[in-house]
Amino acid sequence: MDLSSLTYPDVVSFAVPFFVAAVIFEVTWIFVKRRGGRYETRDAMTSLAMGVGNVVVGILLGFVTYGFLMWLWRITPLDLGASVWVVALCFVLDDLRYYWVHRLGHRVRWVWASHVNHHSSQHYNLTTALRQTWTGTFTFMMLLSAPLVLLGFHPAMILFVGGLNLIYQFWIHTEAIDKMPRWFEAVMNTPSHHRVHHGRNPRYLDANYAGVFIVWDKMFGTFVPEQADDRPDYGLVHNIGTFNPLRVAFHEWVAIFRDLRQPGLTWWDRLRYALMPPGWRHDGTGGGSERLKAEYVAKHPDAAGTPGFETVRPVQARAEPAE
């Protein structure tokens, strides 16, 4: 089938008026009902500025990812066509790709440097969904889309379903919805599951990476259900002290390069500052998520074995806080 002229609508652009209307609705709901979340003007405007920046960067640098995927498309002998079923299959497999990109985004500091801004708000509302990266191209995570192209999914289709995935994830960034029906919570990513992902509570670190289908977390052992007695506290383990979008976008990149430039490091250590999980330090003083969980369990032995702490062994807390 000749797919050289295959095009799909830019669904994210079409969703922008809906995003704006939904934010206005949510902020009004919270004001009227006095529940269902929190808004703060500068925090929300920073999130929205990050969203606008993400769109601008996409326009400027989108050709890098699309060019790479089109190059793969030219060399692959496979072509699955463009039927509705192929698009549906592409959506599911792309969501699996998203799970792994997202998981790497939390476990590899180079990728975390791009993703950290999405977690840098201490609020959790619909504007948080729009607090998107400006530096995703530099993580080279487009490599994880390569298998889909090589299997015969057209790059335009992959970007189309990626847009649908992004739109789906918008509505789950809210505290206004408590729980969805049980069957829905079992299969789909929901506000409850994603609140866990944004929580900085030790229990919730490195959990619920799903985009659309929560089943990936259940399959790969990263699912943690939201606990009524441990409400998510949003933000980073150690929060940033700025609303400046430029600093929000680039602060972890700056931190990486400062760590790389420390005198007396081996090249192996320099590489590990970029590739190990956030919090790693060459002298062993770092506080990654495993350590934070273990310290929490040492302080709260009753938590051992509960969701998020199933395999955690307690260790004594250090005198210095985690990075």
Q: Where does this chain bind other proteins (CB under 8 A)?
A: 10, 13-14, 16-17, 19-20, 23-24, 27-28, 31, 38-45, 48, 52, 122-123, 127, 200, 202, 233, 235, 237-243, 247-248, 250-251, 254-255, 287, 292, 295-296, 317-322
Supply φ then ψ for residue 108, to 5 degrees. -120, 120
Is the CB of 56 or the CB of 78 nearer to other proteins? 56
Q: Which three-class secondary structure state does DSSP give residue 199?
A: strand
Q: Which two tokens stand for residue 166?
A: 């992004």
Name the packing angle between helices 155-170 and 41-75 (round to 10°): 160
In terms of Cβ atoms closer than 10 Å to its own Cβ (0-12, 13-18, 19+), residue 6 is middle
| Least distance CB 106 / other proteins (angstroms) | 17
Q: Please name the amino acid found at residue 63.
A: F
| Least distance CB 38 / other proteins (angstroms) | 6
Is the CB of 28 or the CB of 76 nearer to other proteins? 28
Is the CB of 100 or the CB of 253 nearer to other proteins? 253
Is the CB of 173 or the CB of 251 nearer to other proteins? 251
Is the CB of 76 or the CB of 242 nearer to other proteins? 242
Neighbours of 262 (CB within 10 A): 12
Evaluate whether 207 touches 196 at the Cβ level (below 8 Å).
Answer: yes
| Least distance CB 2 / other proteins (angstroms) | 27
Residue-wise over 106-115: b if at least 16 C-beta within 10 A, else e? bbbbbbbbbb
Evaluate whether 139 touches 111 at the Cβ level (below 8 Å).
Answer: yes
Whole-angstrom Cα distance, residue 206 to residue 229?
19
| Least distance CB 85 / other proteins (angstroms) | 28
| Least distance CB 285 / other proteins (angstroms) | 12
Is the CB of 7 or the CB of 41 nearer to other proteins? 41
| Least distance CB 211 / other proteins (angstroms) | 24
| Least distance CB 295 / other proteins (angstroms) | 6
Among candidate residues 27, 242, 272, the one with its CA nearest the CA of residue 126: 27
Is the CB of 145 or the CB of 201 nearer to other proteins? 201
Helices of type H across 245-286: 245-260, 267-275
